[in-house]
Amino acid sequence: MIYLDNAATTAVLPEVWEKMKPFFTEDFANPASMYAPARKARAAMEESRRIIAGSLGAAPEEIFFTSGGSESDNWVLKAVSDKAQAEGKKHIITSAVEHPAILSTCRYLKQHGFEVTQLPVTEEGIVKPEVLEKSIRPDTCLVSVMTANNESGTIQPIKELCRIAKAHGALFHTDAVQAYGHIPVNVKDWDVDFLSASGHKFHGPKGVGFLYIRKGIPVGPLIHGGSQERNRRAGTSNVPGIVGMGEAARIAMRDMEKNIAKETALRDELVSRVREEIPFVRVTGTMNPRLPGNSHFCFRFVESETILILLDQRGICASGGSACATGAEEISHVLTAMHVDPEYAHGALRLTLSEQTTEEEIDTTVEALKEIIAKLRSMSPAFKEWQGQQSR
Ligand SMILES: *Cc1c(COP(=O)(O)O)cnc(C)c1O
């Protein structure tokens, strides 16, 4: 198997799994209990909180464990809007390229009386700070813009966007699920109020994530119940998950510089080979600033889904965009927002690398793609018609 879908999820590292194992079997105690085994589980959980806080420039008490990116995103949007509604601030700003965890929650809030502005992006996929400046209003309670996009890999100018939000009295959230563990992320440097991340996107386990909430910001719970997470998030703590995510964070920080260099070099080789060796292809989004492991292509005269099926037959795992949108045949909202020519957008292909990806895998993938695209085009009526027009 060649796995090139690391934006959808990543493999749990062996060290992470080893660290998690005892917390399923011997050290299974509920960390909220009082006896010694519970204290051990609690200590391991708090160690994860310290590692994660340290990696972000935050304090441990600003980190709240959740079930993942979707929950963290829902929590911020719903809790902030609950409070803002009472103060008469009923305007939220986000971007047109956010993950469904943000966009669907915004749709829900619209049904509850909020007005939502979706900032457009450039053809390169970037949210321009001056566009935010023009859209922000005195009644804007929250601006939420993702750190890096899950389809195009484009990295947004979070520090500038956050500065504008603050200058107008709005809170700022960033969905850093694609970025955290892959590129430097610092809440103090950026001055953000909230940040979401998810364990399974950086070699931790699925079903665990966190939300950074700046100290002093009153945020009520999304999940009501027990007093876990200092009364902000009820439910018996997912100790193995939290321990695994902490270990994954530690390793990600330790290896970040090395991983960025390796993935960028391999990714750049992949992009230049596809550009040179396959005709009628466009690379989606800016190459800089972009997540190191992300490549995204749009091929003319082919359908995304058929490319994926033929790649799968050769044991290559890839995506047409986001894992959350598969099955839907329409063009993704991200490509639409970037004004990608529909003739190209139907042939979208996202290949996302990890530090485990090898040069040989990239080579095999390029060779497979060359054959697959040529074969599909040879069967495409649109391609034949185009060829006919050229020879006339
Ligand atoms: C994967 C992803 C999410 C959802 O995270 P889960 O932990 O799977 O709920 C949210 N936002 C972005 C940008 C993502 O890539």
Tell me which residue of 145, 70, 77 sits closest to 112, measured CA to CA: 77
Per-residue b or e along 41-74, where b marks 16 or more CB atoms closer than 10 Å to that residue's CB: bbebbebbbebbbebbebbeebbbbbbbbbbbbb
Cis-peptide, bond into residue 289, ω within 30° of zero:
yes
Indicate the angle between helix axes 239-277 and 36-56, nearest 10 degrees.
Answer: 30
Q: Is the pLDDT assigned to residue 329 strictly greater than 80?
A: no
Where would I find the beta strands (DSSP E) of the chain? 2-3, 63-66, 91-95, 115-119, 140-144, 171-175, 194-198, 209-213, 281-283, 294-299, 316-317, 348-352
Burial class (CB in 10 A: 0-12, 13-18, 19+), 273: middle
Place of tokens 């950026």: 190
pLDDT computed for residue 241 by the predictor: 98
Concerning whether 324 is annotated as a catalytic residue, the answer is: yes
Q: Is the pTM of this model over 0.85?
A: yes
SS3 179: coil
pLDDT computed for residue 375 by the predictor: 97
SS3 252: helix
| Rg of the chain on CA atoms, in Å | 22
pLDDT computed for residue 322 by the predictor: 57
Q: What percent of the chain has pLDDT over 70?
A: 98
Tell me which residue of 42, 51, 373 sits closest to 228, measured CA to CA: 42
pLDDT band of residue 391 (cuts 50, 70, 90) is confident
* Residues, the chain: 392
Q: Is the pLDDT assigned to residue 205 strictly greater than 90?
A: yes
What is the CA(368)–ligand 1 centre distance, in A? 29
Nearest atom within ligand 1 for CA of residue 209:
7
Amino acid at residue number 366: V
Place of tokens 């993938």: 365
Q: What is the dihedral of CA 134, 140, 141, 144, to 10 degrees?
A: -40
Indicate the angle between helix axes 359-378 and 239-277, nearest 10 degrees.
Answer: 60
pLDDT computed for residue 102 by the predictor: 98
Pocket, ligand 1, Cβ cutoff 6 A:
68-70, 73, 99, 101, 146, 150, 175, 177-178, 198, 201, 209
Tell me which residue of 143, 139, 76 sits closest to 113, measured CA to CA: 139
pLDDT single digits (tens) 335-377: 999 999 999 999 999 999 999 999 999 999 999 999 999 999 9
pLDDT single digits (tens) 290-313: 999 999 999 999 999 999 999 999
Q: Is the pLDDT assigned to residue 323 strictly greater than 70?
A: no
Nearest atom within ligand 1 for CA of residue 9:
1
Q: Is the pLDDT assigned to residue 142 strictly greater than 60?
A: yes
What is the CA(200)–ligand 1 centre distance, in A? 9
pLDDT single digits (tens) 28-47: 999 999 999 999 999 999 99
| Ligand 1 atom 14 nearest Cα | 177
Nearest atom within ligand 1 for CA of residue 73:
10
